[in-house]
Structure 1
Amino acid sequence: MPVLDLSQTSPDLTRVVCDIPSVSDDETTLADAVHAAMSGLDHLEVVRCGDTIVARTNLGRDRRVVIAGHLDTVPINGNVPTRDIEIDGEPYIWGRGTVDMKAGVAVQLKLAAELRAPRVDITWMWYDHEEVDAERNGLNRLSRERPDLFEADFAILGEPSDGEVEGGCNGTLRVAVRTHGVRAHSARAWIGENAVHMAAPVLARLAEYRPRDVEVEGLVYREGLNAVRISGGIAGNIIPDLCEVEVNYRFAPNRTVDEAVAHVRSVFAGFEVEVTDASPGARPGLDAPLAQEFLAAVGAQPRPKYGWTDVARFSALGVPAVNYGPGDPHLAHHDEERVPIAQIEAVERGLRAWLKPS
């Protein structure tokens, strides 16, 4: 089992953590290493739930913060082990997971070891299966089995945010929009009805759609409605009797899932619409007292999170949450994934400044 030396710098720890492959479904080796490292610290209570590791202080503080990060990555594509590169004179660590989100995890691991008496009680969470179906998400499982571990006044998720604070997140909805025709031999097409041709108005509505920019609690969220997949037909000589357009709607957090579904159904009125996946967004939650203290400590100007993240899980439990981690979110899942070393160090300084005893 790899050994994590938590006395290393956070950039060095990033290299080590990234060089332990942990593609979704293969997190156990890294989870074992995290569990072993945390179990050796006498100021933390450690709980393991599958490949999710929780370590928390119990100092009797009047407020508690959850700080979380996922251990898994998308598949490796020749970008492990990590290597050091330089771009325009700035040093980076290149490799799978550096952005999404092992640099953030490395910072959290180091601070968990070193902050023995923080100003608030802290529950550190490192969880599995974030990059796959929501049903398998380690936070999902943990919330069912140990809901008490989610009791907190504020939460921070170490998702890549360029070292800035991103409040809340958009919701996401996927639907299948279907058209039905009549199957026939393509040599006698006039006998059938082509379901693929009948989907043209669906694509036209998408092309004409103008998404909203929505202000929520001072942050402007950008929405989007897009076809992400289209399928139809069974053979090269058969008129297709079914066509399915998969549509993804990213909606601002002032809309509920039901309102988002109603909106999409109105856009595609006259067509069969089936909801296949839905996750609510999260309001920014920046008016919470701990959030205001956090923003002041890190000197951040908050901005919206356009993508969906697990802050929505905390928001649904009544815990205001933000995203704060090193790395450019545009490079998440990219084969040229890389994180500036200066950003790793800056996020560590920011969290340390906020959490250290006053």
Structure 2
Amino acid sequence: MPVLDLTSSAVELTRAVCDIPSVSGDESVLADAIDQAVRALPHLSVHRDGDTIVARTELGRAQRVVIAGHIDTVPINGNLPTREVEVDGEAYLWGRGTVDMKAGLAVQLKLAAELADPRVDITWMWYDHEEVTADLNGLNRLAAHRPDLFAADFAILGEPSDGAVEGGCNGTLRAVVRTHGVRAHSARAWIGENAIHAAAPVLARLAEYRPREVAVEGLVYREGLNAVRITGGVAGNVIPDLCEVEVNYRFAPSRTVEKAAAHVRTVFEGFDVEVTDAAAGARPGLDAPLAQEFLAAVGATPSPKYGWTDVARFSALGIPAVNYGPGDPHLAHHDQERVPLRQIDAVEQGLRTWLAGR
């Protein structure tokens, strides 16, 4: 089993955790390495649920903060092992997971090892299955098994934020818009009705759609409604009787899942619409005292998080939560995924300054 050296630098630790492949569903080797490393730390109590590891300080502080990050990645595509590269004069660590989100994970592991006497009690959460469907998410499972571990006054997710602080997140909804027809031999197409042709108005409505920009608690969230997959057809000589257009709606955190679903059905009025998956967004929550202290300590001007992250899980529990991690979100899942070395160090220092209180 790989051994993680938590005394190494955050950059070296990033390389170590990235070089342990952990595609969603195959996180056990990395989870075992993390478990072994943190159980050796006497100032932490450690709990494990599947491949989710929770490590807590028990100092009796007046406030508790959850700091969390997922340990899985999207599939590898020739971008491991990691290597250092230079782009426009800046040093990066290149490879799968460097941005999403093992650099943030490495920073958290290093600080978990070194901060034995933080100003607040800390619950570190490192969880599996973030990159796949919500029902498999390690935090979702942990909340069902050990809801007591989520007690906190503030939460930070180490999702990539370019070293800045991103408040809240957009909600996300997936739906399938179906058109129906009648099968026939393509040599006698007039006998049938082509379901793929019937989907043309669906695509037209998407092309004409103008998304909103919505201000929520001082941050402006950009929405989006897009086709992400289209399927249809039976054979090369058959008029299709079914076409399915999968759409993804990213909506501002001021809109509920129910209102988001109603909006999508309105856009595609007259068509067969099935909502297949949805998750609410999270309001910024930056008016919380701990959030204000955190912003001041790291010297950050907050911005909105356009993608969905697990801050929404904490927000649903009434816990203000932000995203703060190294790496450009635009490079998450990219085959040229890479994180600036300076951002790894800067995020480590920002969290250390705030948590140590000095």
Band of TM-score, shorter chain:
over 0.9
**Aligned pairs for 1:200-349 within 5 A:** 200-349=200-349
Distance in 1, matches of 2:204 and 2:194, equals 17
Q: Corresponding residue for 1:78?
A: 78
Q: Corresponding residue for 1:124?
A: 124
* C-alpha distance after superposition, 1:235-293 (max 9, x if no partner): 11111111111111000000000000000111111111000110110001111110000
Distance in 2, matches of 1:87 and 1:181, equals 52
* C-alpha distance after superposition, 1:212-244 (max 9, x if no partner): 000000000000001111111101111111111
Identity %: 80
SS of equivalent to 1:110? helix
Distance in 2, matches of 1:36 and 1:57, equals 17
Cα distance, 1:190 vs structure 2: 1.1
Q: Corresponding residue for 1:44?
A: 44
Distance in 1, matches of 2:44 and 2:50, equals 19
Distance in 2, matches of 1:230 and 1:87, equals 37
* C-alpha distance after superposition, 1:76-97 (max 9, x if no partner): 1111111111122211111111
Q: Corresponding residue for 2:53?
A: 53
Distance in 2, matches of 1:50 and 1:113, equals 22
SS of equivalent to 1:203? helix
Distance in 1, matches of 2:186 and 2:221, equals 46
Distance in 1, matches of 2:276 and 2:335, equals 29
TM-score (norm 2): 0.99
SS of equivalent to 1:131? coil
Cα distance, 1:346 vs structure 2: 0.2
Question: Is this contact kept in 2: 1:180–1:195, CA < 8 A?
Answer: yes
Distance in 2, matches of 1:77 and 1:269, equals 40
**Aligned pairs for 1:91-240 within 5 A:** 91-240=91-240
Distance in 1, matches of 2:166 and 2:13, equals 24
SS of equivalent to 2:62? coil
Cα distance, 1:130 vs structure 2: 0.7
Are positions 1:354 and 2:347 aligned together? Answer: no
Distance in 2, matches of 1:357 and 1:241, equals 65
SS of equivalent to 1:293? helix
Distance in 2, matches of 1:327 and 1:304, equals 16
Distance in 2, matches of 1:63 and 1:185, equals 70
Which amino acid is the alignment partner of residue 235 of structure 2? A
Question: Is this contact kept in 2: 1:117–1:357, CA < 8 A?
Answer: no
Distance in 1, matches of 2:51 and 2:235, equals 44
* C-alpha distance after superposition, 1:145-166 (max 9, x if no partner): 0000001000000000000000
Cα distance, 1:357 vs structure 2: 3.5
Which amino acid is the alignment partner of residue 129 of structure 2? H
Which amino acid is the alignment partner of residue 164 of structure 1? A
Distance in 2, matches of 1:83 and 1:244, equals 42
Q: Corresponding residue for 1:31?
A: 31
SS of equivalent to 1:306? coil
TM-score (norm 1): 0.99
Which amino acid is the alignment partner of residue 281 of structure 2? G
Which amino acid is the alignment partner of residue 138 of structure 1? G
SS of equivalent to 2:172? strand
Distance in 2, matches of 1:112 and 1:219, equals 31
Question: Is this contact kept in 2: 1:169–1:282, CA < 8 A?
Answer: yes
Which amino acid is the alignment partner of residue 108 of structure 1? Q
Q: Where does structure 1 differ by over 4 angstroms across 4 or more consecutive aligned residues?
A: none
Question: Is this contact kept in 2: 1:172–1:250, CA < 8 A?
Answer: yes
Which amino acid is the alignment partner of residue 98 of structure 1? T
Are positions 1:2 and 2:2 aligned together? Answer: yes
SS of equivalent to 2:125? strand
* C-alpha distance after superposition, 1:17-47 (max 9, x if no partner): 1111111111111111111111011110100
Which amino acid is the alignment partner of residue 289 of structure 2? P
Distance in 1, matches of 2:89 and 2:265, equals 51
Cα distance, 1:193 vs structure 2: 1.0
Which amino acid is the alignment partner of residue 128 of structure 1? D
RMSD between superposed Cα atoms in Å:
0.8
SS of equivalent to 2:23? coil
The 10-residue stretch of structure 1 (137-146 or 181-190) with the greater mean CA deviation from structure 2: 181-190
Question: Is this contact kept in 2: 1:233–1:242, CA < 8 A?
Answer: yes
